[in-house]
Amino acid sequence: MSATFLIARRELGAYLRSMIGWVIIAGVLAVDGLLFNAFALGGGDKRSSEVLSLFFYFSSGTTMIASVLIAFRLLAEERQTGTINLLYSSPIRDGEIVLGKFLSALAFLAIVTLATGFMPMLVMIHGKVSYGHVAGGYFGLLLLGSATLAIGTFGSALTRSQVLAAILSACMVVAMLVAWLLGRITERPLSEVFSNLSLHGLHFQPFQAGIVHLRDVVYYLAVTYVALFAATRVLEARRWR
């Protein structure tokens, strides 16, 4: 476990020392701020909870994009620069490498996401919303981010090219996103399967309203687990090749 923590700490340091880390923070804040002003605040009178709901809706988009951008380099970069050999030749399990990398990305995503906190705060000052709504929304964002990051980690394990890793991750995330479209054009029970599989639609909507359902939490954690498990297997398989 301590190896996981060591790797996570080092990786988080790398994010904060690298350009890409700050670019991602700046990008998310800029886009979220724009959307917040244009849509959540603009467009006629709204109730505070509606504004907040909208804020979490478009924040989920930027969170997913940020997650892919954060995760694509995690393992691909290690392979590209050869530092993976350091980890491979150290007495640590492949699972610890993957988990450490993932946790650092999650911590960084948490920093990015919480940096947007001033926007709901503005709503709270000028209107009336519950803390529960804000907390629930952010919890949802982190869960959605966690699942996306895990998929990105898996994509990053697949190739040594960071560009390819980013494209693969993005494709997987988009495929998981648009599953709900398949749910609309298929018949039951297939439609149920597809809509429940979707990364966003059914599972994120309750969070937008500040409602936390156990099944949604379980869904995001399950996606995270499966993707990280797959990434670990990929890493293990590399040793045989």
Partner 1 sequence: MIQVEGLTKYYGALAAIRDLTFAIDRGEVIGFLGLNGAGKSTALRVLGCVLLPTSGRVTIDGFDVVRDPHEIRKRIGFLPDTPPLYTEMTVGAYLEFVARLRGVPSGRAKARTIEVEERTATRDVHDEVIGNLSHGFKQRIGIAQALVHNPKLLILDEPTSGLDPVQIVEMRQLIKGLKGEHTILLSSHILSEISQTCDRLLVIQGGEIVGQGSEQELATQMGSGGYLEIEIGGPSQGEGRAPVEKALQAVRAVAGVLSASVIREEAHVAQIKLDAPAALCPQVVRALVAADIDVMRVGRGSAQLESIFLKLTQTGGQPS
| Shortest separation between residue 18's beta carbon and partner 1, angstroms | 6
User: Which ranges of the chain would DSSP assign to H, the alpha helix?
Assistant: 2-17, 19-35, 48-71, 73-81, 84-88, 94-114, 118-126, 131-158, 162-177, 179-185, 190-197, 201-208, 214-238
Specify the residue, 13 or 132, whose C-beta has the smaller distance to partner 1: 13
| Shortest separation between residue 186's beta carbon and partner 1, angstroms | 40
Binding part of the chain for partner 1, among 30-38, 80-88, 183-191, 219-227 by CB under 8 A, reads 80-88
Q: According to CB under 8 A, which one of 6, 65, 111, 221 is a site residue for partner 1?
A: 6
Quick check: 1 binds partner 1 (CB under 8 A)?
no
**3-state class (DSSP) for residue 41:** helix
Map the footprint of partner 1 across residues 82-141, applying CB under 8 A: 82-92
Residue whose C-alpha is closest to residue 32's, from 137, 119, 148, 114: 119
CA atoms within 13 A on the CB side of 193: 5
Quick check: 217 binds partner 1 (CB under 8 A)?
no
Angle at 137 between CA 136 and CA 143, to 5 degrees: 90
What gap in Å lies between CA 104 and CA 116, rounded to an integer? 19
Map the footprint of partner 1 across residues 16-35, applying CB under 8 A: 17-18
Quick check: 14 binds partner 1 (CB under 8 A)?
yes
Binding part of the chain for partner 1, among 3-11, 49-57, 131-139, 214-222 by CB under 8 A, reads 3-11
Give the CA dihedral 11, 15, 17, 19, nearest 10 degrees. Answer: 150
Binding part of the chain for partner 1, among 13-21, 55-63, 123-131, 205-213 by CB under 8 A, reads 13-21
The residues that touch partner 1, with contacts defined as CB under 8 A, are 2-3, 6-7, 10, 13-14, 17-18, 81-92, 239-241
